Amino acid sequence: MGSDVAAVHSQASFWQSVRESITGSQQDYTEGSIGRAITLLSIPMVLEMSMESLFGIVDVFFVGWLGSNAVATVGLTESLLTIVFGAALGLSMATTAMVARRVGEKNHEAAAVATVQGIALGLVLSVVTGIIGSIWAKPLLRVMGASSELVDSGWGYTAWILGGGGTAVMLIVINSVFRGAGAPVVAMRALWLANIINIILDPCLIFGFGPFPELGIAGAAVATTIGRGIGVVYLLRVLTTGSSRIVVRRSQIRLDMPVLKPLLRVSIPGMFQWFVATASYVGLTRILSTFGGAALAGYTVALRIIVVVILPAWGMSNAASTLVGQNLGAGKPERAERSVWVTGFANMVFLGLISLWFIFWPEPVIRLFNNDPEVVPIGADCLRLVSYGYVFYAFGMVIVQAFNGAGDTRTPTIINVFCYWLWQIPLAWWLAMHAGLGARGVFWAIAIAESTIAVVGVVIFRRGRWKLQRI
């Protein structure tokens, strides 16, 4: 009887935490249950990332009515935008780490100053990418291999998306402030708002419904830019009206070089960290291209399924980043370390269950997206083989974000360089070309390399030097 009552109480407590995570929490993440802290932080972070990926999905859905060239334009432009995202994510890592550290120290004024510096660097990045994107949209599409017909019909979309890419940059950077402050629900709401605006405006501006002009494919980009821009306005309003954990006052809106310099120092390795991973993906794609279109298609389908399914795992990893930063700021390095192990174990259980699904029943999952008899077996092989490394990958994701949360973006960058460029790509090439495994060799290399990252990351993490990181 007593055990039944305890189970009911535990279940009620869990769902209460879920509701609180979505409605907003004032939890002090340097005190109390670590499991509860992970729940409160990770759920809105998962929903936030899901909303970010929705922009591209919505654009492809509506643009699909305009033909294959329009869809191809969206795909090529998203590839270019990945570079911008990489730079923004590098800056966001540093911003999260610095804000979390100051919040952990209970120095909210210093957290606000750090916020202003992060936003200032985000504005610089926005202006640079906006100018390049809007002026050189056509040459950039040609560099990506677009045909003359595609360039002529789609350059307006590219110019608007890249020219207005500053809205995406500012969303990423300001959202990182709220994650670091332990208020990820604000970031989640901003992306909900931005996506609702985008979903409403997309068909109106593409097809000219009602009073709206018919802009064709460019209308999708205008809608996305407006949606993201409104999301940024919402975030700035929350930051300046005193309704969040961090309040930016007019007197704090200034450049502070003692804060700006370390923020920039941590940001640059963070940017390179993402570039290394992206470049590795390009290298693997190049190797797979030698085995034909079916191999590429199978890999692409499997990769998109993997990305969507592991979003909850990324949410838990980001929660670890916030917990590490705040607890280091509070002078509780042991609690910070325990947060990482607990998060890593939870992530391992989640991805372990997913891996069982993909290992034993990959074909039905692939067929949901592609029924081509040549593509399905290759996509199934990719899902199955990559899943063998999921348990390791679960810990690797958390460890990498733990380093970033401590402000040590250099260590995971070095790990990425060795494990991706000097290990994964050469291994994939040798297994595919010389060991006779073909496309399966690339898939094995991904599982092996990701597992290596986890093992190396854990070994370095256990040494504890990240606890001494100053930011």
pLDDT per residue over 100-114, tens digit each? Answer: 999 999 999 999 999
At 443-453, the pLDDT tens digits run 999 999 999 99
pLDDT given for residue 452 in this prediction: 95
* Total domains in the fold of the chain: 2
Of 255, 279, 311, which residue sits at a domain end?
255
Whether the CB-CB separation of 72 and 157 falls below 8 Å is answered with no
**Distance between CA atoms of 140 and 135, rounded to whole angstroms?**
10
**Closest among 68, 85, 77 to 141, alpha carbons compared:** 77
* Judgement on whether residues 326 and 408 belong to the same structural domain of the protein: yes
* Judgement on whether residues 323 and 239 belong to the same structural domain of the protein: no
* Judgement on whether residues 245 and 310 belong to the same structural domain of the protein: no
Mean pLDDT, to the nearest integer, of 234-239? 94
The position carrying tokens 């809608």 is 223
Assigned domain for 18 exists:
no
* Judgement on whether residues 228 and 375 belong to the same structural domain of the protein: no
Six-digit token string for 23 = 């409605």
Residue 338, judged by CB atoms within 10 A of its CB (0-12, 13-18, 19+), counts as middle
What is the CB neighbour count within 10 angstroms for residue 361? 12
Six-digit token string for 449 = 């390399």
* Judgement on whether residues 46 and 80 belong to the same structural domain of the protein: yes
pLDDT given for residue 13 in this prediction: 67
**Distance between CA atoms of 312 and 339, rounded to whole angstroms?**
17
The helix/strand/coil state of 249 is coil
* Judgement on whether residues 282 and 141 belong to the same structural domain of the protein: no
Domain that holds residue 382: 270-471
Mean pLDDT, to the nearest integer, of 80-88? 85
**Distance between CA atoms of 207 and 213, rounded to whole angstroms?**
8
pLDDT given for residue 231 in this prediction: 96
Whether the CB-CB separation of 449 and 422 falls below 8 Å is answered with no
Which of 62-66, 336-340, 433-437 shows the highest mean pLDDT? 336-340
**Distance between CA atoms of 302 and 379, rounded to whole angstroms?**
5
Whether the CB-CB separation of 214 and 207 falls below 8 Å is answered with yes
* Judgement on whether residues 354 and 309 belong to the same structural domain of the protein: yes
* Judgement on whether residues 457 and 313 belong to the same structural domain of the protein: yes
Of 191, 220, 255, which residue sits at a domain end?
255
Six-digit token string for 369 = 């997206």
Mean pLDDT, to the nearest integer, of 337-350? 93
The pLDDT confidence band at residue 16, using thresholds 50, 70 and 90, is: confident
Tell me the pLDDT of the chain averaged across its residues: 88
pLDDT given for residue 39 in this prediction: 86
The pLDDT confidence band at residue 14, using thresholds 50, 70 and 90, is: low
The pTM for the full model equals 0.87
pLDDT given for residue 9 in this prediction: 43
